[in-house]
Amino acid sequence: MEFLITLIATFLLLLMPAITSSQYLGNNLLTNRKIFQKQETLTSYAVIFDAGSTGTRVHVYHFDQNLDLLHIGNDIEFVDKIKPGLSAYGDNPEQAAKSLIPLLEEAEDVVPEDLHPKTPLRLGATAGLRLLNGDAAEKILQATRNMFSNRSTLNVQRDAVSIIDGTQEGSYMWVTVNYVLGNLGKSFTKSVGVIDLGGGSVQMTYAVSKKTAKNAPKVADGEDPYIKKLVLKGKQYDLYVHSYLRFGKEATRAQVLNATNGSANPCILPGFNGTFTYSGVEYKAFSPSSGSNFDDCKEIILKVLKVNDPCPYPSCTFGGIWNGGGGSGQKKLFVTSAFAYLAEDVGMVEPNKPNSILHPVDFEIEAKRACALNFEDVKSTYPRLTDAKRPYVCMDLLYQHVLLVHGFGLGPRKEITVGEGIQYQNSVVEAAWPLGTAVEAISALPKFKRLMYFI
């Protein structure tokens, strides 16, 4: 009896692979479906909402099993936007949340239905919401969280909806840029640093050595540390990331105008007499009778930047802030947002090119030209510049030069890459935080073995 069972078992064992493989070969329909299903589950989607001050955008990304981006239709991502931003609904959080439903539905249509439960959804709110009074911002986020949880079939974790601050924006943007350039998983010395000039703040982010990170100065309680540690494709990176608050493009204009408080300002072009409003405060903006002046304007900007403030560390950028020590992670720099817009507006770079090589001195050369103009001549000299930007073209160009050279200490002739996007395969990927956030969000899925996470 025992022998018979063993015999049958052996026979079955011998037979089994044959049966399986003949079934496999003999049923194309089944085979195809099997392969198809397998491919489907190997790829992943992520849905990221970027809730900015003027509007909200949704990005849908599609990754393969190696964490490389796949096309969605003809494009490298699906993106759409609505206006106004969440902060416009200040006292009506439910309405704010509701305003996102059309974007949510579009994103859900892009993701195959069977993948919805495995598709992370995140919303990051930047500048606009932070300016709301009291708990208005938290109420809007809570209503948005509820709306997503109640309505969406996507994967909404408890921490999916949040305000992201400048240092988070900076680090995710660094991830985006280095992801697109194929640097992740390689030595930090191969990575590219990022300077991001926003409206309210400017962020500097670059990778530093373990030794530098270990010796980084401590910051006061409640402040963001200088170093963020994260793991990407099995490699640990130490990022110097700092958000210089009140040194964004608009915030600096306000400081420069406030420095002359109601009297003539040499950064303003002759022929303009108006006001500039920032964060609810109005500043007078008009030039001295002698016109704008490059040197006088530069002097004010240097004062506003506090380049001569005492430095309690081996080296500082400006305002007594540690500079991160420099090094290989800063050798190559991607310089973006307001730098890229202005360079394009004044024709320093070809329009519609994702990025171009420039040097800090190029901003100085252009500033000298701009600061010699009359306000009436700006339109013909810089036809791409919008009305609202015209009175400040001398100030803005000069500030960008001073920030790079005297603030961040870059050599005037250092090559920097200025742009809004980076070529990736046959597409251009926007150099912004949402893609970096998407990489982190899907890295949390079990099959990616946490390819990226912050420590």
**Chain residues in the site for ligand NAG (CB under 6 A):** 146, 149-150, 255, 258, 261-262, 273, 281, 286
Q: How far is the CB of 200 from ligand NAG (least distance, A)?
A: 12
Q: Which is nearer to ligand NAG, 206 or 283 (CB)?
A: 283
Alpha helices in 71-118 (DSSP H): 93-98, 101-110
Q: Is 415 a catalytic residue?
A: no
Helix %, strand %, coil % of the chain (to 5): 45, 25, 35
Residue 199, annotated as binding a ligand:
yes
Question: For 187, phi and psi rounded to 5 degrees?
Answer: -55, 145
We find the least distance from the C-beta atom of residue 142 to ligand NAG, in angstroms, to be 9
User: CA-CA distances (angstroms) from residue 307 to 140, 404, 425?
Assistant: 39, 12, 41
Residue 385 near residue 378, CB atoms below 8 Å: yes
Q: Which is nearer to ligand NAG, 261 or 380 (CB)?
A: 261
Q: Smallest gap, in angstroms, from Cβ of residue 284 to ligand NAG?
A: 8
8 A C-beta contact, residue 109 and residue 119: no
49 vs 286, beta carbon nearer ligand NAG: 286
Contact 249, 338 (CB under 8 A): yes
Select 258 or 423, whichever has its Cβ closest to ligand NAG. Answer: 258
Of the pair 142, 356, the CB lying nearest ligand NAG is at 142
**Residue 234 labelled as part of a binding site:** no
Specify the residue, 92 or 149, whose C-beta has the smaller distance to ligand NAG.
149
CB atoms within 10 A of CB 83: 10
Measured between alpha carbons, how far is 162 from 246 in angstroms, rounded to an integer?
A: 22
Contact between 205 and 241 (Cβ < 8 Å):
yes
Which runs of E-coded beta strand occur in 15-93? 44-51, 56-63, 69-70, 78-82
Q: Exposure pattern of 415-426 as b/e (b: 16+ CB <10 Å)?
A: ebbbbbbbebee
| Residue 335 to residue 202: CA distance in whole angstroms | 11
> What letter would DSSP give residue 449?
T
What is the torsional sign of CA 263, 266, 270, 276? Answer: negative
Q: How far apart are the first and last CA of the chain?
A: 62
The nearest distance, CB 149 to ligand NAG, in angstroms, is: 6
Place of tokens 């240092």: 167
Residues in a beta bridge with 124: 50, 162
Q: Is 201 annotated among the ligand-binding residues?
A: yes
- We find the least distance from the C-beta atom of residue 121 to ligand NAG, in angstroms, to be 15
Contact between 148 and 156 (Cβ < 8 Å): yes
Among candidate residues 2, 94, 113, 169, the one labeled active-site is 169
Q: How far is CA 209 from CA 60, 187, 230, 315, 324, in A?
A: 34, 10, 13, 16, 10
If the CB atoms of residues 307 and 358 are measured against ligand NAG, the closer one turns out to be: 307
Amino acid at residue number 24? Y
Residue 258 C-beta: closest distance to ligand NAG, Å:
4
- 275: which 2 tokens? 């006001």
Query: Considering the complex, what minimum distance in angstroms separates the CB of residue 130 from ligand NAG?
Result: 17
Annotated binding site: 199-203
- So which residues are the catalytic ones? 169
Q: Binding site for ATP: what residues are annotated? A: 199-203
